[in-house]
Amino acid sequence: MRYRAVHHTEYRYMQPVALCHNETHLRPRAVAHQRCLSHALVIDPEPDLISEREDFFGNPTASFSMQRGHSHLSVTATSEVEVGSPKRPGQVPDVPWEEAAEILR
Beta strands in 45-104 (DSSP E): 49-54, 60-66, 70-83
Q: What is the pLDDT of residues 43-80, one digit of tens each?
A: 999 999 999 999 999 999 999 999 999 999 999 999 99
Distances 4 to 31, 36, 58, 86 between C-alpha atoms, Å: 17, 10, 22, 19
Alpha helices in 1-105 (DSSP H): 97-104
- Indicate whether 86 pLDDT > 80: no
The pLDDT of residue 89 is 66
Every domain of the chain and the residues it spans:
2-78
Percent of the residues in the chain that have a pLDDT greater than 90, as a whole number = 75
